[in-house]
């Protein structure tokens, strides 16, 4: 009513172990952090996702409580879908009319989506036009088009309609205005890379799943997610030291460096992540090309695990840093010590709220 709250946006990230909500307000054409909240989802998760029976019952109550207790004022909400719940892939097409390209994409999509296309929400965007000098991941190297005709690199995004419908209902139950639903990989890129030009890999290590994103000049070129997360690191500590899971979890966040070479504990989950990244780089930069990787960006609840930056830097011979989702927003600096403790887990939620800010400033 009367336009109140039109410049305030909520980013809502429902992860595999907790819910994160960020509220950003636009002031002087700048995004300002006005509020944030999180809560754990103990007992609500299945193997990889929220138990379906809880999505319509328990989850709305959890979130109503969060919004009320944190006194969130924003009503315009942006939700994320976990990366493993959707598809992001690059496909190359010859130059053609938009109508023909639309038909070609739908035909080609059958090769990547193992279900009826009527059951998914499908979107695509032309992200680059080139003469095919560079290969696309998963596709054979092609010679430059001798005719000089350009090729279209199309980013294809798909998500199950059933999952999208759940988020639509959740927004209605919370009396929020649903502005967008996007796969979390885009939110991560927005908050951790933004408009920075360069080639990066984001390693987002959650509780159960690791999302690996290759980003070239702001465009997602490859996206993989594997069952490897913070829980597996805790299990490795628990097994090696013969201690219970609670004690292992406390040790994991105690600041002790288990990766400094003095520890005898092996972490197969980290080796798995390194192996997957190596495969992505080997497939995408087949010719050892001129597209050097500028850095690895760590995110998620495990990003601050002592020694992790050095571990990835040494294993992959690339500089590694912990991503800073606060770098593109303003906030009360008096809160900085506390925020630094938790903000590496808010990269998706901040990226979602930033989408609202960007859309608002474009108007």
Query: Distance between CA 237 and CA 202 in Å, rounded?
Result: 25
What count of other Cβ atoms lies within 10 Å of the Cβ of residue 109? Answer: 18
In a domain, 3, yes or no: no
Return the CATH number at 154.
3.30.1490
Element (H, E) at 169: helix 161-173
In a domain, 203, yes or no: no
Alpha-carbon torsion 343, 226, 305, 200, what sign?
negative
Residues 214 and 242 in one domain: yes
In a domain, 345, yes or no: yes
- pLDDT higher at 138 or 63: 63
Note down the domain range covering 121. Answer: 85-160
- Tens digits of residue pLDDT in 236-285: 999 999 999 889 988 988 888 999 877 889 999 999 999 999 999 888 87
Q: What percent of the chain clears pLDDT 70, i.e. is strictly above it?
A: 88
Strand pairing of 18-27 and 30-40?
A: antiparallel
Residues 264 and 303 in one domain: yes
Residue 160 has pLDDT above 60, yes or no: yes
In a domain, 330, yes or no: yes
Confidence of residue 150 (pLDDT cuts 50, 70, 90): confident
In a domain, 317, yes or no: yes
* Ramachandran area for residue 59 (φ above 0: left; ψ -120 to 50: alpha; else beta): alpha
Residues 272 and 293 in one domain: yes
Residues 174 and 34 in one domain: yes
pTM, whole model, 2 decimals? Answer: 0.88
CA dihedral 324, 329, 330, 334 (to 10 degrees): -30
Instruction: For the chain, give the mean pLDDT.
Output: 86
Query: Distance between CA 15 and CA 13 in Å, rounded?
Result: 6
Among 70-84, 135-149, 326-340, name the most confident range.
70-84
- In three-state secondary structure terms, 240 is helix
Look at residue 342 in the predicted model and tell me its pLDDT.
80
Look at residue 112 in the predicted model and tell me its pLDDT.
86
In a domain, 204, yes or no: no
Residues 75 and 189 in one domain: yes
Tell which residue, 237, 229, 235, 228, has the closest CA to residue 259.
Answer: 237
Query: Distance between CA 207 and CA 197 in Å, rounded?
Result: 30
In a domain, 29, yes or no: yes
Residues 129 and 175 in one domain: no
Residues 99 and 79 in one domain: no
Number of structural domains (the chain) is: 3
Residue 289 has pLDDT above 70, yes or no: no
Residues 54 and 191 in one domain: yes
Return the CATH number at 17.
3.30.420.40
In a domain, 202, yes or no: no
Q: Which two tokens stand for residue 260?
A: 């400094």
Residue range 83-90: mean pLDDT, rounded: 88
């Amino acid at each position: 009513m009367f336009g109140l709250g039109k410049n305030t946006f909520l980013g809502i990230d429902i992860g595999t172990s907790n819910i994160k909500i960020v509220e950003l307000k636009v002031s002087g054409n700048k995004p300002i952090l006005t509020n944030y909240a999180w809560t754990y989802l103990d007992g609500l998760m299945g193997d990889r996702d929220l138990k379906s029976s809880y999505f319509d019952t328990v989850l709305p109550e959890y979130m109503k409580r969060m919004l009320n207790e944190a006194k969130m004022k924003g009503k315009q909400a942006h939700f994320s879908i976990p990366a493993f719940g959707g598809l992001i892939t690059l496909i190359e097409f010859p130059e053609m009319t938009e109508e023909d390209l639309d038909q070609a994409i739908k035909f080609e999509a059958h090769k990547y989506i193992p279900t009826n296309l009527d059951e998914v929400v499908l979107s695509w965007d032309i992200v680059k036009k080139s003469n095919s000098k560079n290969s696309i991941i998963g596709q054979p190297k092609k010679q430059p088009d001798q005719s000089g005709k350009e090729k279209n690199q199309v980013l294809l995004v798909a998500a199950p309609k059933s999952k999208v419908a759940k988020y639509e209902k959740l927004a209605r139950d919370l009396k929020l205005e649903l502005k967008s639903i996007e796969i979390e990989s885009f939110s991560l890129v927005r908050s951790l890379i933004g408009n920075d030009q360069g080639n990066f890999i984001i390693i987002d290590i959650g509780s159960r799943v690791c999302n690996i994103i290759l980003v070239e000049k702001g465009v997602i070129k490859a996206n993989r997610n594997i069952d490897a997360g913070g829980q597996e690191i805790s299990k490795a500590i628990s097994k090696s030291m013969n201690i219970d899971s609670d004690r292992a979890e406390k040790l994991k966040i105690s600041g002790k460096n288990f990766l400094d070479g003095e520890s005898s504990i092996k972490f197969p989950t980290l080796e798995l992540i390194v192996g997957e990244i190596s495969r992505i780089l080997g497939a995408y930069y087949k010719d050892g090309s001129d597209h050097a990787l500028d850095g690895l960006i760590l995110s998620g609840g495990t990003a601050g695990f002592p020694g992790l930056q050095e571990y990835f830097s040494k294993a992959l011979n690339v500089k590694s840093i912990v991503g800073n989702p606060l770098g593109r927003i303003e906030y009360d600096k008096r809160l900085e010590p506390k925020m630094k403790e938790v903000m590496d887990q808010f990269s998706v939620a901040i990226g979602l709220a930033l989408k609202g800010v960007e859309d608002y400033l474009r108007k």
